[in-house]
Amino acid sequence: MSRIGKLPVPVPAGVTISVSNGLLAVKGPKGELTQALAGGVAVVQDAGVARVTRENETRQVRANHGLTRALLNNMVKGVTTGFERKLDIQGVGFKSEVKGTTLVLSLGYSHQIEFPFPVGISITVEKGTKLSIKGSDRQVVGETAAKLKAFRPPDAYKGKGVRYEGEHIKLKAGKTAKK
């Protein structure tokens, strides 16, 4: 039995889970999320909890069991509390600002980078160098943070660039002069 798959998912008040035509839908105070249900697994609801069960013991169904439970748990957390990812921008003259539903980044290039917000994502900027990405879908929040980081990954020599909050970059030593 899957260690992750056998754990029940607590369903808080105000959250509804429904399964129809192979689609898993979770609705809560922060919105609604849908996910295609993998083959061989089913979602069963009890009082205040949801459980994922599997139909047989094949390798693929066992893998889908844990995956479906993890996705369901992330969906329930997303519609109740949401997810957040923070980024730091480091470098002289590097900054960001929000203009409507577009994030404008100045990252040392000859041009500014304009990044439109994905659907369901909100981005806030603090002091021009701290970004906060919030949303109810964990995958979209992480993907958006990764795309923003990819515009200017941290440099190995000076550490300039976009990094996740709390990420430590080991800096390389520069060239040394010959004696």
76/89 same-domain check: no
* Domain boundaries, position 25: 9-80
Mind listing the pLDDT tens digit for each residue in 135-171? 999 999 999 999 999 999 999 999 899 999 998 989 9
Residue 2 located in a structural domain: no
Residue 117 located in a structural domain: yes
Consecutive H or E run containing 42: strand 41-45
CA dist list (Å): 111 to 87, 89, 154? 21, 17, 19
Mean residue pLDDT of the chain comes to: 91
Contact present, 93 and 135 (Cβ < 8 Å): no
Of 62, 80, 98, at which residue does a domain stop?
80
Amino acid at 71: L
Q: Please tell me the predicted confidence (pLDDT) of residue 88.
A: 94
68/108 same-domain check: no
Of 58, 80, 102, at which residue does a domain stop?
80
CA atoms within 13 A on the CB side of 165: 10
Contact present, 57 and 63 (Cβ < 8 Å): no
Q: Per the structure, how many domains does the chain have?
A: 2
90/150 same-domain check: yes
How many Å apart are CA 59 and CA 164, to the nearest integer? 36
Give the CATH number, domain containing residue 71. 3.90.930.12
160/127 same-domain check: yes
Mind listing the pLDDT tens digit for each residue in 24-54? 999 999 989 999 998 889 999 988 899 999 9
Does residue 4 sit in helix, strand or coil? coil
Residue 176 located in a structural domain: no
Q: Can you give the pTM of this predicted structure?
A: 0.86
96/29 same-domain check: no
Handedness of CA 117, 118, 124, 130 (dihedral sign): negative
Residue 178 located in a structural domain: no
Q: In this structure, what is the dihedral angle of CA atoms 22, 24, 25, 26, given to the nearest 10 degrees?
A: 170
95/143 same-domain check: yes
Of 20, 45, 80, at which residue does a domain stop?
80
How do beta strands 113-116 and 102-106 pair? antiparallel
100/120 same-domain check: yes
102/71 same-domain check: no
